[in-house]
Structure 1
Amino acid sequence: MVRRMCVLAGLVLLMSACGTEDQASTGDGPTRTATETVTVTPSPSTTTAPDGGTESAPPEAADTKCVAMELEGEIANADAGAGNRYANLVVTNKSQRECTLYGYGGLEFVDADGNANPTDLVRTPNPGPSLVTLAPGESAAKKLHWGVVPTGDEPATGRCQPPSAGIRVIPPDDTQAFVVSHDFGSVCGAGHVEGSAYFTP
């Protein structure tokens, strides 16, 4: 618990020097978006709780890391079962150079107007960090898992949380974000979502 709180405090301090907002919405199914790049500051309603692994990229990747303005994304392979939702966040290098991803990065649920929704991101090493090199046009993925069953003091009927129409995606070792649209609906457990590190699909 102490280790988790320390990691949480460090991430909040790292991200608190930046600004916020922006997003687009869509209906059901995967949609390629990622045209806007924004600077993200966690809102009061957002808790980012990383867990597992380290975000320190190998030294050789320091000058080649992919940044938000070079990426676009979509939600793919969505699946559902027993109150759980599963999907892959797929990011594609839209730049003209080769770049790298190492680690988990961050994300924040947003509503159809681009306002932040509660987000409780937990890192799960399935898989953990490995260096992913993306040539122009190549993609990497990140596994996502969230629930739609109310927990704690969330209402048993109606919406457990405000519906989310997309996510702001923050690449590893970056403070800028790009927006991916998807109809997540209400993410219960105060926006609890588990996310793997990026990997080559």
Structure 2
Amino acid sequence: MAYTSPSRHRTALLASSVAVMGLLTACGNGAGTASPPQKVPGTAAPATGDTTTGAGATRAAPSGGITAPGRTATHPGSSSAATAGDSASGTGAAARSTRCHTSELKAMVGRNDPGAGQENFPVVLTNTSGRTCTVHGYPGAAFVDASGRQLGPDPKREAGTPTTVTLRPGASAWAGLTFSNPGVSGARTATPAALIVTPPDERDHLTVTWTAGQVPVGGNASSVFLTVLGAGAGP
């Protein structure tokens, strides 16, 4: 058996212990503290997926929201945002308005129902579309001559509480158009060619031929009034 001197034996044990401690420190499998990272000369390569040019580049999400798969981010200042595939929250696409649009309506002026020096006409809006829609509040109206020039001021609104009227296909809503009889009031008059009617919250109007004679357009007691829309085709 070969003889090993005590000094050489101690040296070998010390070297072996240092090697084992080095392995434990590199694996991070112990209670000791790892050595701080060392600086290595050279240029670091860019992180994967952090480029902004080239095919398949990934850009950082803009501030104001992160878009998850199957969703649409809400942009700052938007009143509502459609969310695709959002069945979990139950929101779905933005709700479609139920308001009746001008293109879905027909207008007419009903028979005069005079009383106590007052002329009273129902202005009727009928749903001609294939869907149910709603009207709410006051219609707009104005008398015009054959060239389309307005006669007299806009009608005034009589006090009333606007309600939402639901119109199934073929159903109607009406508003009262009233004014003092010019022969009683002494107002200046004109004979309109038509009454133009604008449904609530719409810009386009409907034209109704006017066949009821003279209307007040100026002077004493010349105001024309409109009431809120109610269900039906007249009182």
TM-score range, shorter chain: 0.5 to 0.7
Matching residue's letter, 1:198? L
For residues 62-107 of structure 1, give each alpha carbon's deviation from its aligned partner in whole angstroms, at most 9, with x where no partner exists: 7111111111121113122443211111110111111110000211
Q: Secondary structure at the match of 1:91?
A: strand
Deviation at 1:153, TM superposition (A): 9.0
Greater share of strand: 1
Contiguous gaps of at least 5 residues in structure 2: 1-94
Q: Count residues in correspondence.
A: 135
Contact 1:166–1:182 (CA under 8 A) maintained in structure 2: yes
Partner of 2:32: none
How does 1:94-105 map onto structure 2 within 5 Å?
94-105=128-139
Contact 1:142–1:196 (CA under 8 A) maintained in structure 2: yes
Deviation at 1:185, TM superposition (A): 2.5
Deviation at 1:193, TM superposition (A): 1.2
Partner of 1:23: none
User: Distance in 2 between the 1:123 and 1:131 partners?
Assistant: 17
Normalization by structure 2: what TM-score? Answer: 0.51
User: Distance in 2 between the 1:88 and 1:200 partners?
Assistant: 12
Q: Secondary structure at the match of 1:69?
A: helix
Identity, % of aligned positions: 33
User: Distance in 1 between the 2:190 and 2:121 partners?
Assistant: 20
User: Distance in 1 between the 2:231 and 2:158 partners?
Assistant: 16
> Greater relative contact order (Cα 8 A, min sep 6): structure 1 or 2?
1
Partner of 1:117: 151
Among 116, 123, 126, the alignment partner of 1:92 is 126
Matching residue's letter, 1:195? L
Normalization by structure 1: what TM-score? Answer: 0.59
Structure of larger gyration radius: 2
Partner of 1:200: 231
Partner of 2:175: 142
User: Distance in 1 between the 2:193 and 2:227 partners?
Assistant: 21
Contiguous gaps of at least 5 residues in structure 1: 1-60, 155-159
Write out the 4+ residue segments of structure 1 that deviate beyond 3 Å after TM superposition: 150-154
Partner of 2:209: 181
Q: Are residue 77 (structure 1) and residue 106 (structure 2) matched?
A: no
User: Distance in 1 between the 2:116 and 2:145 partners?
Assistant: 24
User: Distance in 1 between the 2:162 and 2:102 partners?
Assistant: 18
